[in-house]
Homo-oligomer: A and B are copies of this chain.
Amino acid sequence: MENNRFARRRPDTDLGAKYRAVRSDTDQLCDGLSEADAVVQSMDDASPAKWHLAHTTWFFETFLLKPHLPGYTEFDPAFGFLFNSYYEGAGERHARPQRGMITRPSLETVFAYRRHVDEAMSSLLRGYCPDILELATLGLHHEQQHQELLLTDLLHLFAQNPTHPAYRGGEPLPMHNVEPDPLTWHQFDGGLVDIGADDGTFHFDCEGPRHKALVHPFELASRTVTAGEWIEFIEDGGYVTPSLWLSDGWARVQSDGWSAPLYWAHENATWQSMTLRGFQPVDHAAPVCHVSYFEADAFASWIGARLPTEFEWEHAAAKTPVTGNLVTSGRLRPRPQRGGETSPVGLFGDVWEWTSSAFLPFPGYKPLDGTVGEYNGKFMSGQMVLRGGSCATPDGHIRSSYRNFFQPEKRWQYSGLRLARDAD
């Protein structure tokens, strides 16, 4: 088995156009950000917007332009140190918790860096070397990942500000606080199912190789858990009942004082939440988000269900069209999920769905060769798999085999849950 290719397919005939589109999307996400908004790092897990802008560019410069474009002139030799994220193979780098210290180069210079690299990439992509095209495709998917992080990191930053800045202005919220659809259960047979991405389309290395997995008969909820249901959990003592929690989860409840999802505040007898549209009332009918794996698991215990495995989830999602409330909807918040009578809805978009699977290698997995091999494999410990994308995920970036992963206590992503249970 040939293992040094993340994608074993013909390159896109119009990768240049795709490149321009993805890069331009990133720029547009930064519309309206000040130099200040773009520089601050609000916690170790988050990165400044400026860093995201530069790091995604560094990826192209480091893995594409420097090795493959003859005569390419590096924009600034200091940037290799400043904007490497975690690639040990790419040399020394600035400490992660110090990313917010980089007030200079300015945002303007970083945009100039982007233009410089874009021009060179434009030359490079005119050639048709498959190796390059595949790396460039990886670079674009990498950039799309950072588009989502850019949004979640900004939300975290703005949530630290007592004045509650809104990233984008108020939206009409017509479905607000209508009743959610009732939760129903869809049954799935067990058996040997196909898991993982086909070599014929782009995917990250951790999504393969495609293989058989055994799934036992199960049922999956028609939609994700709503904020209104979460409020019932709170009101029923969910956060003060240790028997519902994993031991590490309960320790976290106590040490971090959790009593509601991240960003929620109870004011004047209503639940409010910081969002990318400012401080807003919680929409009871919409999916709950900003909950950790520990909270998701405790909720499932409370209601007498469980989280699905990632194999169950993928099996259920495999034939579902990849559409939903993604970043392109412009909504920037989960929306109530409707119409799950005949099959589960909302599998893609709205909120990432925690699964009960640890992020571990699939049978036969080997990382990519070289430094890009550090992309996923070295994170295969201590993290849980999430599936399906969120309202902050770019279109074209999500698919049924996509494996996102975070530590079980993390809450700043758009993470929610869908229930599962054993079939009799």
Contacts and interface: CB of A to CB of B under 8 A. Distances in A.
Interface stretch (A6-14, A35-43, A410-418): A35-43
B363 A94 contact: no
B364 A422 contact: yes
B378 A245 contact: yes
The winner among A36, A245, A378 for most chain B CB atoms within 10 A is A36
A287 to B, nearest CB: 23
Interface in A231-290: 242-243, 245-250
The winner among A161, A211, A294 for most chain B CB atoms within 10 A is A161
A42 B162 CA distance: 20
A381 B249 contact: yes
Contact-size category for A:
35 or more
A214 interface: yes
A213 interface: yes
Contact of A216 (B81, B364, B381): B364
A132 B257 CA distance: 40
Interface stretch (A54-62, A104-112, A386-394, A395-403): A104-112
Nearest to A211: B216
A57 B39 CA distance: 25
A422 B378 CA distance: 19
A98 interface: yes
Given A360-B358, A379-B246, A379-B247, A36 B103 contact: yes
Interface in A139-183: 157-158, 160-163, 165
The winner among A157, A357, A363 for most chain B CB atoms within 10 A is A363
A2 interface: no
A105 B246 contact: no
A20 interface: no
Interface stretch (A82-90, A119-127, A333-341): A82-90
A124 to B, nearest CB: 27
A117 to B, nearest CB: 19
A303 interface: no
Contacts of A82: 162-163
A381 B161 contact: no
A408 interface: yes
B358 A422 contact: no
B165 A104 contact: yes
Contact of A100 (B40, B105, B382, B408): B40
A356 interface: yes
A413 to B, nearest CB: 18
Nearest to A104: B165
Contacts of A250: 88, 378
A381 B408 contact: yes
Given A88-B243, A422-B363, A105 B163 contact: yes
Nearest 7 CB-CB pairings of A with B: A358-B358, A35-B35, A101-B160, A36-B103, A36-B39, A214-B214, A88-B242
Interface of A: 34-40, 42, 50, 78, 81-82, 86, 88-89, 94, 98, 100-107, 157-158, 160-163, 165, 192, 211-214, 216, 242-243, 245-250, 293-294, 297, 356-358, 360-361, 363-364, 374, 378-382, 408, 422
